[in-house]
Every structure is written in structure tokens, then in C-alpha cells.
Amino acid sequence: MSIVDNSPVCSASEMPTVGSSSPNPTDSSAGIYLNRAAGRRILIVEDDVSLAGFLSGELEAQGFAVEQIHDGEQALQTLETKRRFDLLMLDLNLPTLDGITLIQRLRPTQPRLPVLVLTARSRVEDKVKALESGADDCLTKPFSLIELLARVQALLRRNSGVVPNCSTVGDLTMYRDQHRVERNGRRIELTPREFAILDVMMRNAGRPVSRTTLLEEVWNLAPSESATNIVDVYMKYVRDKIDLPGEPRLTHTVRGVGYELRVA
């Protein structure tokens, strides 16, 4: 596998390092990445150890915190059990678990994690399959480092967490600045915790939200078997207030995953 830096093509062992012909993080063209990278965590899942090491070094030079994994199963386990990442960068040809399957298994629990696929597969069909499986972007090897950084920046900007003041699902409306929720003109009184739960559900409307995600975003807790029960208890409080008898159901249980807010 190889990367193109500007115009030359180099093998993984010959790739430029920070301070040579690769983008310098102090240059004006690269400084934007450094400014936006502070505190952002990237997981690289790539079986080519040399390539993963090169990418890790370049991204760390831009200010990112980077972790490398070279195995699909191990990557999935890390994503499901460790603290969350801001971006997943992965190859499709991985040992033990291929990239497509990894994305498909990850999406129900982490629907908002940006996924950038790096692949040597050049067929359009492979790119389409990756995108349909849940990837956000695809980059074909060999590629330029500056294009990779631009795509990373675009994905992080797209998923920067900018949330509109008003969100609507069916006849349910949330006004975040007023801490107010209405359904078909009916005012719904929610506690701060219930409002936070509904806020997460509204931001992910039409997609399953796992109990783990709710624990992390609402309670700021690490996932555990004993803690998931509190999610179910509070979701019942929210459901009882949102879906009154005779109204179309908006809150749905996704068996084995969590909950989803959608128009049936």
C-alpha cells in the first residue's frame, strides 16, 4: 500500500515524515488542522503496520490523539468498550473481521461516529457498498496526505455537534433555548434529565440510540450492566409523557440495541 504526497508516489517504508516533504503542522495550510484537532481522538484500523504508523505520526503532528489497531475484531471490541472516538479511519481488508462487517456491527450502537474508509479497492461497487453499510466517506489508495487531512477536517466539521434550536419529529417539537417541548400543541413538562434524553433522541431521529450512548451523553457514565436499567426507567418516563393513549407512537424499543424516535 502506498500514499502519494503531492505528486510523488512512495511505498509505506519510503513515506515522508513530519519535517521532510510532508505538510508541516506550523505552515498556514496545515495550521487549521492543528487548531481544530485539540482533544480529538482518532482510531486507525489498518493491517499495514507501516502505513498505520505513518498516518498516526502525521495526525499526531496535527494535534490529534491517535490509537492504532491492526485487527477487525479487536477494533470492534475497543469501539464497544473503551471511551468514544471522534473519527474512525479503517481499511476494508482486515484480519478476523473485514471493514464492511465492522461498520455494519458498529452502526446500531454508534450511529454518529464519522467513518472514513481507506481502501485499495478501486471499483465503484466497493465504494458504494462501504457507503451503504454506514461509511461517511471513502478514499482510494494511493492518496495524497493533504487530501486525507482535508477529508478528516470535513468529517469532523460535519459532525461538530452544532444542533439547531428547534427540532421536529412528526408532531413533536423541541425548543432547546426555551427548554420547551410540545406535541400537536400540547405542552409536555420534562425534568432536566428527561429533556436531555429526548434531546439525544431528537438529534438521532430515525436511527437507533443505544443504552450505552444515552449513559455516556446524559449521565456521563461508562457503560455497565447495572447502569443500563436506569436508562430503561427514564425512557419509560419520557415515553409516558410523549406517547399518550390514542396518539401515534413516536418512541420505539429496538430489541437488543436501545431506543429510536421516529414516525411509525
Question: Is pLDDT of 173 > 70?
Answer: yes
pLDDT of residue 171: 95
Q: How confident is the model at residue 29 (pLDDT cuts 50, 70, 90)?
A: very low
Cα–Cα distance measured from residue 158 to residue 100, given in angstroms and rounded to the nearest whole number: 22
pTM, two decimals, is: 0.53
Phi-psi category of residue 195: left, alpha or beta, with phi > 0 → left and psi -120 to 50 → alpha: alpha
pLDDT tens sequence across 203-226: 889 989 988 888 877 876 666 655
Domains and CATH numbers, the chain: 2-158 (3.40.50.2300), 166-261 (1.10.10.10)
Do 73 and 96 form a contact (C-beta atoms < 8 A)?
yes
Phi-psi category of residue 246: left, alpha or beta, with phi > 0 → left and psi -120 to 50 → alpha: left
pLDDT of residue 106: 86
For strand 65-69 and strand 41-45, is the pairing parallel, antiparallel, or unpaired?
Answer: parallel
Cα–Cα distance measured from residue 139 to residue 22, given in angstroms and rounded to the nearest whole number: 18
Do 169 and 261 form a contact (C-beta atoms < 8 A)?
yes
Question: How is residue 12 annotated by DSSP?
Answer: G
